[in-house]
Structure 1
Amino acid sequence: MKSINPDDFKVVNAIQLSEMPTLLDVDGDDEEQEDKLAKVRTKLSEIQEVMYAHNRYAVLICLQGMDTSGKDSLIREVFKETNARGVVVNSFKTPNSSELEHDYLWRHYLALPEKGKFGIFNRSHYENVLVTRVHPEYILYENLPGIEKVEDITPKFWKKRMKQINNFEKHIAQNGIIVLKFFLHLSKEEQRQRLLRRLEEDKHNWKFSTGDLKERELWDDYMHYYEEAINNTSTKNAPWYVVPADDKEMARYIVGKIILEEMQKHSDIHQPELDDDIKANIEMYKEILKKEL
């Protein structure tokens, strides 16, 4: 398999999703991809342990993508080797009544990872400029000043909201949270095939919802708003990566490799030094414990 360069997926200039691949043409088979991913996740596990001891940084990974794009299985496979206490996953669904009594970013602030941990947002604060753009009537539930009807939600409103998201991410990045955002770029045809498999395989029937078909009818709207959100919010503090997702195994490897290489750039993350007193007396402590035998 040819080498994967994370920079090839990073959004640094305006992109058009319709021109970006959903499947990579690479040599190698699934077994080779799995071997490479296994090495990546072992290294990620080691980094998380050091990061926990260092206690200066946290990592926030945002996963976005259409239904069936493989977010759940990606989390499972990429972080399989990481200490369970070192990875916290949050899936954001329709805001409940309590969450609607606060601003739209409130529940996301509450879910930010502690220092030393990976936090994963399986769907994220970006739902507030994606689903709500496709269904602007949802904004009315937020009871915002000056918003009485859908017609009150202007392009200026969305521009301001994306600026607020940029400010949110800049703030947390400046306070020690490494932010990485991934859009799993799935083709409409591949989604059709995966939805069919959900219906044809009994063990996956429970995953199917009639809502999947309704949202599928709005595919072009979603692609338009994803593109706009990515182009307006991919920053140095919190870059977006557009990852081809028609091949689940390859998508997992790409995401894992990007996370690993980004973490390796933080050369200041290291094991803390032993206390001078402990270091000076370490042989004595060994002897004390050995004498207990």
Structure 2
Amino acid sequence: MIITNIRGMSSEKFNSLFPDLPDTFDLLYIDHESQEGMDRIRTWFHWVPRNAFMIFDEAQTLFPQKWTDKYVERFDFPEGMDAAKAADRPMNFLDAWTRHRHWNWDIILTTPNIKYVHTDIRQTSEAAYQHSNLMLLGKWLKFLVAKDYKEAMHSAQENRAPTDGSNIVALRKIDKRVFTLYDSTATGQHRDTMAGKNALASPRVVILLAVLVIIFGTIYWRNGTGAFSNPLSVGSPKTAAPVAQNPVPQGSAKTPNVAPNILPDKQVVPLPSVTSDPFGSYEIVIKGSITREALIYSIFRPCNALEALIYLGATAGF
């Protein structure tokens, strides 16, 4: 069973649009613009049957934030807690909203601004959904995304969805058949929002699009479609000119690899061949320390780097 105050809803409209509905389907419409209807909605937990689905529009009018605790007490179940237990009903307003699932009740409230809804309801709600009409971005952008509105889920205790990216956002499209189930206005006519602004009419957006068109147009004019298929190839590579190679003069045979005579009165020893190095597969680690004698030698005797290394190795005990 559906219980609602949405104008124009009826069982006949649902059965005509959904012919496969079960025979047990029923819909009860309550006019909240009368005092009797308003009181009946506010005391819904006194009479709603089990397993009912309730959807109430204009929640800020039905359950306003300005209610005091004393005012809410008037909605307590008649004759107190024992009578509520005997009737298998919640005993008061807060008990109804905190334990409604014990009776398999599901409730949806709609409002233009959630901050005007009573705190007891917001603090016990599972979640809130903020809807934004994409027509606010302009009809052309709404046409491009092929969606009707943006849905942002957030905590019901927050007045609006946060903008730090922590909420869940989805773009959704409205099934046009739902407009035949209710009357969106007292006249029964549906009209989209007129608060939207065409984003293409903004000078900043137009300038940005013009710059992008000029950039991509210039790239296409200079390089064709190849610049988009292979961005690294800016143009056709030029053929490199052949470089003339001068013949290497044939001189005398090279002398063997001999270490120069850098130390006086030392015998010149040929360097060993790299290919015949017996220690080629070993890793040799040489450790040493600079002694006082080596430090004095390096200060008072001029020498080149290689000579100093050989001398330091001798004094360090290599």
Q: TM-score, normalised by structure 1?
A: 0.26
**Structure number having the greater helix percentage:** 1
Task: State the structure with more CA Rg.
Answer: 2
Larger relative contact order, structure 1 or 2 (CA cutoff 8 Å, min sep 6): 1
Q: TM-score, normalised by structure 2?
A: 0.24
